[in-house]
Amino acid sequence: REMYYSPDVSKDPYYIPGVKEAKSEVCFPLMIGERLIGVLDVESPEIDGFTPDDIRILSTLSAQIAIALENARLYEEAKRLSLTDPLTGLPNRRSFGIMIENELRRAERYRRPFALFMMDFDNFKSYNDKFGHSAGDDILKKFSNLMKETIRDVDFLGRYGGDEFIAVLPETDANFALVVAERIRKKIESENLEPPVTLSIGISVFPKDAREKQKLIDLADHACYEAKEMGGNRVNFAGV
């Protein structure tokens, strides 16, 4: 983890050939604290091609490069965390907002349908009250994975908040939406928890039910509310 200088690479048993014209090479570890994150490798077409001043400048540059790379990594990590639900690892509500805008533009342009699911677990509070929040968190993580396994790779599944989840299924009309929703509902029901935790699903379809983002969300949310009012563990379409 220190600077390495090879004034004549032809005599260096550790040299790994890079640039064909290279005659000398200097390498600097890119360090963040005690952590090695990369290597800056500079080669010269001349034997002993680096002066002490060159090495000092490159050493300073390598430190700046390490900091820049670490800052970029931290920025990407912060961005990822801002779009991800920390409990389930699913996209969060903010991520959904970005995704639905893109899907609306695509669907409008190509005049294609998509379905929006608003999903809410039935009796989840009772389960939480009986077994505690840690057990409730475990169930949310497990059910998140079950739902994700049930939909296609092109479909979006996110946590909307609490025990509410939202899904967007591109290229999906009402008939196919019902097939997928029932598959998800039955998957959750088959876990046979006690007290029972099941799933109510409200569905709106673009453009049949609405063309605006908030209207589609509100319709699916209301359909989900109606499903719960009817006893839960069911699929309900907007306007039905």
Cis check: omega of the bond before 170, within 30 degrees of 0: no
Same structural domain, 45 and 164: no
- Tokens read off for 125: 């509070």
Per-residue pLDDT reduced to its tens digit, 54-89: 999 999 999 999 999 998 988 888 888 889 999 999
Average pLDDT on 143-151 reads 96
11: number of CA atoms within 13 Å, CB side?
A: 7
CATH at residue 60: 3.30.450.40
Same structural domain, 131 and 209: yes
Same structural domain, 60 and 128: no
Burial class, 237, CB count within 10 angstroms (exposed 0-12 / middle 13-18 / buried 19+): buried
Query: Number of folded domains in the chain?
Result: 2
140-145-151 Cα angle (round to 5): 125
Among 85, 122, 155, 163, which one carries the catalytic annotation? 163
Rounded CA gap, 115 and 104, in Å? 11
Residue 125 lies in a domain: yes
Same structural domain, 143 and 121: yes
Residue 19 gets which letter from DSSP?
S
pLDDT of residue 240: 67
Cβ-contact 59, 36 below 8 angstroms: no
Q: Model's pTM, two decimal places?
A: 0.75
CATH at residue 150: 3.30.70.270
Residue 88 lies in a domain: no
Average pLDDT, whole number, for the chain?
94
Same structural domain, 181 and 129: yes
Per-residue pLDDT reduced to its tens digit, 17-60: 888 899 999 999 999 888 999 999 999 999 999 999 999 999 99
- Decide if 163 is catalytic: yes
Which residues constitute the domain of residue 15? 4-82
Same structural domain, 77 and 120: no
pLDDT of residue 19: 83
Cβ-contact 30, 69 below 8 angstroms: yes
pLDDT of residue 17: 86
Check pLDDT > 90 for residue 173: yes
Per-residue pLDDT reduced to its tens digit, 81-117: 889 999 999 999 999 999 999 999 999 988 999 999 9
Same structural domain, 228 and 144: yes
